[in-house]
Amino acid sequence: MSQPCLKSLGKSVAQRVAMLGIFLMLGVTAVAAQEVKPSDLPVKFNSKSLSHDEQKQTVTAQGDVELVQGNQILRADKMVYHLDTDTVEAIGNVSLLDDEGNVSFAEYVSLNKSMKDGFVHSLLSLLADGSRFTAAEARRENGTKMTLTDASYTPCKVCETDPKPLWQIKADKVIHDEKDHSVKYKNARLEFAGVPLAFAPIFSHADPSVKRKSGFLRPSYGYSSEQGAHAEAGYYFGDIRPDVDATLRVRPTTQAGVLVIGEVRKRFEHGRIQLDGSIVNSDRHEEDGRVEEDRLRGHLFGTGLYEIDEKWRAGFNIERASDKEYLRLYDITHQDVLESRAYAERFSGRDYTNISAFNFQDVRLGLRPDQPDILPSLDHRSFGEPGKLFGGRWTAGLSTLELRRSGSDQDVQRGSADIGWERRDVSRQGFVTRVNISGRGDFYAVQDSAAALLNPALESSTQEARGMAVASADLSYPMVRRVEKAQVMIEPQIGISASPQTDDTPLDIPNEDSIDIQLDTNNLFSPNRFPGIDRVEDGARVNYGIRAGLYGDNGRYGKIFLGQSYRLDEDLIFPNGSGLEDKSSDVVGQINASVSKYLSGDYRFQMDNRNLVIHRHEFQAHAGNDMVSVNGKYIFIDPTAGTGFTESRQQALLDGTYSFRPNWWLNAGALVDMGEEPGLRKAALGINYADECFSFSLQGARSLISEASGENGTVLMMRVGLKNLGEFSAPGIRLTKGSEEE
């Protein structure tokens, strides 16, 4: 036989044996069937001997046979190619390394030319993620069915001294049918530490090629004083249509009716929509103590988005509930205010346009002011190209807003237009300058004015126009000096803002969006420290501060900033407690440090400008090592006039973990109120375990917020995670304050 013929024959053998390995991996891992095409890469073939038997029509390679094609490597003691049947056999110490890094071992492998039929004996597959499959036999029939006998699977490490994994799945037989995309098990069992925990004589699921398949969902159960004992089961409708699926769940309870929960999702060519809702017939407890019996209750949440063209898109969000207590009672969500919105957006170059309408539902218990509807709001903003206009760039914006309230409560329509120019420069000497010039005009129309209810001399319906121009400039000079293994930076900064004084009073224009004012390091140098549009900061003011830092080459650093503002006119326009009510503002600062990966902290504060008494400070820090880790947060805020908070707020949160053994750790946390009514508000404790294939967590949490919040109670939760099989969790057991009193 000539050498070219030998090369051709070797390549044919190589392709078939390599293909055999790929098919075996497909069968063993029960992945989706797919057409495997021979690679065009050259095949390198090595063996100690190669013989051709004319009578038996066989070609035999013996002695350290190795085939290499791309990243695939196949080895065996012996390979036989049967010319008459076009069948390849690999015999003795067969191993295959595939493109994905998976390795399979077997004692005997056989595969025919068409790749429809094959057989493997004593299979062991080690997958790239650390998982392993074993099977006494694996047989492929008709190109669509793979059958594994005495099969097992585990993602856990298996030691040679103790070959028993932490957990594994065993089955007498596993059948992967590529035609109907199913994997069926006979006498499947889950073993944990060698002890059988679960058994299923017949079990099946879709193979991974099936993205969705209808079926029953895992049931759950629980107990609470409000719902009583309850169980929940559901069904997933995955094959309604390729672009539609749905879920239906039913939760019978002993005290709160039968809850039905549904979800529908649909995709369009240029959009998507999802709707979630529930319905139940149950008694409703009113805030005044009355009980409304057999009331139809429910909720509806939904989202949608549609891409109209390359520039426009539209969407909506829906959040509605039948009553305030419903969502917390059935543990659907703990949101305080539900927001529904319809919107359209346009993106074009540097221009952005948003048209929206909002509706709010306040589901907090107790008397609350009505939330206004926003019908509609329009915002458009354009930005010029940087550096094109006198070395800077221009900005322009247009907005309209209408706030509607029910009954005779205050309604407001507002329109605003603004234009501005900004520029930033760095001089050769290192000075950094920022210049901003802007102007804005506002128009207000008010009906059923809230101010008129307090002062009958005022008109209930008014119209008001206002114009405002602001010029501001900031100057900073960062100075950097190199020291051993670190850099020191000091940067003083000063800024001035000026605008004409307005003659409008708070009674002329309602304040809807500028109530919560907080002076801090982020807005100290802003031209307008009010958070919204309804209030403007007129007159002239000077802002000044200094920033310093030490930055180590090893990534460690320490930074500090101190700053203050001073008004040049006598008008005091900010409320008491804001930090800006005097000509000299409060002093604000921030200290931030990272000593190492085990110790870091951030401290922010606001001090009275006269006696340096703290009005607000926030602190958060992280400390610990690989064994112990602690996180702490603390906040103190004095009351601010007009915000609704008439007393100081002070809270501390502490949580941490402790790793007491390899793979084991404890976690704990507590939230403490240190204000006018001090006490523990939340506490949590848990124990956890995790390794390469198994995780376990047992958590307990106790909430003591208030009756109005609806969040009093204790929750117990257990989670068990099995790698590649998902996470299984026991339902929360909620013991509310009511149940404890009973």
Mean pLDDT of the chain: 84
Q: What is the DSSP letter of 254?
A: S
Tell me the residue range of the domain where 433 lies.
384-602
Interval 406-464: pLDDT, tens: 888 899 999 999 999 999 999 999 999 999 999 999 999 999 988 888 888 888 899 99
How many Å apart are CA 658 and CA 623, to the nearest integer?
A: 12
For residue 99, pLDDT over 90 is answered with no
pLDDT of residue 373: 93
Least-confidence region, from 675-679, 725-729, 734-738: 734-738
- Is residue 125, in this structure, part of any structural domain at all? yes
For residue 353, pLDDT over 90 is answered with yes
Q: Are residues 163 and 52 in the same domain?
A: yes
- Do residues 408 and 448 lie in contact, with contact meaning Cβ atoms separated by under 8 Å? yes
- Is residue 654, in this structure, part of any structural domain at all? no
Interval 213-249: pLDDT, tens: 788 877 777 677 677 788 888 999 988 888 999 999 9
Of the candidates 342, 371, 400, which is a domain's last residue? 371
How many Å apart are CA 131 and CA 723, to the nearest integer?
A: 9
- Is residue 310, in this structure, part of any structural domain at all? yes
DSSP 587-609: EEEEEEEEEETTEEEEEEEEE-T
Least-confidence region, from 23-32, 155-164, 328-337, 668-677: 23-32
Q: Which of 296-300, 368-372, 710-714 has the highest mean pLDDT?
A: 296-300
- Is residue 295, in this structure, part of any structural domain at all? yes
- Tokens describing residue 519: 């002076």
Q: Are residues 162 and 231 in the same domain?
A: no
Confidence of residue 306 (pLDDT cuts 50, 70, 90): very high
Q: Are residues 234 and 338 in the same domain?
A: yes
Q: Are residues 583 and 441 in the same domain?
A: yes
Confidence of residue 676 (pLDDT cuts 50, 70, 90): confident
Q: What are phi and psi of 490, to 5 degrees?
A: -130, 130
User: For the residues 724-728, what does the mean pLDDT come to?
Assistant: 57
Of the candidates 555, 578, 602, which is a domain's last residue? 602
User: For the residues 733-741, what does the mean pLDDT come to?
Assistant: 39
Q: Are residues 261 and 195 in the same domain?
A: no
Block residue for tokens 């209808």: 214
What contacts 358, CB < 8 A, 6 or more positions away?
339, 340, 341, 373, 374, 375, 377
Q: Are residues 328 and 454 in the same domain?
A: no
For residue 204, pLDDT over 80 is answered with no
Short-list 464, 470, 578, CA closest to 530: 578
For residue 361, pLDDT over 90 is answered with yes
| Bridge-based pairing state of the strands 220-224 and 195-206 | unpaired
Q: Are residues 301 and 404 in the same domain?
A: no
User: For the residues 108-136, what does the mean pLDDT come to?
Assistant: 80
Give the other-Cβ count within 10 Å of 355's Cβ: 16
For residue 493, pLDDT over 90 is answered with yes
- Do residues 424 and 433 lie in contact, with contact meaning Cβ atoms separated by under 8 Å? yes
Q: Are residues 228 and 338 in the same domain?
A: yes
CATH of the domain at 28: 2.60.450.10
- Is residue 49, in this structure, part of any structural domain at all? yes
For residue 663, pLDDT over 80 is answered with yes
pLDDT of residue 26: 36
Q: Are residues 400 and 361 in the same domain?
A: no
Least-confidence region, from 28-37, 79-88, 98-107, 472-481: 28-37
User: For the residues 488-510, what does the mean pLDDT come to?
Assistant: 85
How many Å apart are CA 69 and CA 703, to the nearest integer?
A: 62
- Tokens describing residue 696: 């376990």
In order of 12, 179, 483, 487, 521, the CA distances from 490 in angstroms are: 73, 71, 13, 10, 16
Q: Specify the number of domains making up the chain.
A: 3
How many Å apart are CA 104 and CA 120, to the nearest integer?
A: 11
- Tokens describing residue 429: 């000497």
Sign of the Cα torsion 10, 15, 16, 22 reads positive
Block residue for tokens 């039905």: 260
How many Å apart are CA 28 and CA 148, to the nearest integer?
A: 7
Of the candidates 575, 602, 629, which is a domain's last residue? 602
pLDDT of residue 444: 94
Least-confidence region, from 45-49, 360-364, 733-737: 733-737
For residue 37, pLDDT over 60 is answered with no
- Tokens describing residue 551: 């930055």
> Which one is predicted more confidently, 495 or 160?
495
Confidence of residue 702 (pLDDT cuts 50, 70, 90): confident
Short-list 576, 562, 697, CA closest to 643: 576
C-alpha 178, offset from chain centre: 35
For residue 489, pLDDT over 50 is answered with yes
Q: Are residues 417 and 546 in the same domain?
A: yes
Confidence of residue 4 (pLDDT cuts 50, 70, 90): very low
User: For the residues 652-662, what does the mean pLDDT come to?
Assistant: 94
Distance in Å from the first CA to the final CA of the chain: 95
pLDDT of residue 504: 54
- Which element (helix H / strand E) includes 560? strand 557-567
pLDDT of residue 38: 44
pLDDT of residue 602: 96
pLDDT of residue 740: 35
> Which one is predicted more confidently, 476 or 16?
476
CA triple 354-300-227, angle to 5 deg: 145
What contacts 267, CB < 8 A, 6 or more positions away?
243, 244
Q: Are residues 154 and 228 in the same domain?
A: no
pTM above 0.75, yes or no: no
Confidence of residue 21 (pLDDT cuts 50, 70, 90): very low
Give the other-Cβ count within 10 Å of 372's Cβ: 19
- Is residue 742, in this structure, part of any structural domain at all? no
For residue 618, pLDDT over 90 is answered with yes
pLDDT of residue 274: 97
C-alpha 223, offset from chain centre: 29
- Is residue 694, in this structure, part of any structural domain at all? no
Q: What are phi and psi of 615, to 5 degrees?
A: -100, -30
Q: Are residues 230 and 259 in the same domain?
A: yes
pLDDT of residue 264: 96
> Which one is predicted more confidently, 642 or 295?
295
User: For the residues 111-128, what does the mean pLDDT come to?
Assistant: 78
User: For the residues 57-77, what does the mean pLDDT come to?
Assistant: 86
- Is residue 726, in this structure, part of any structural domain at all? no
pLDDT of residue 23: 40
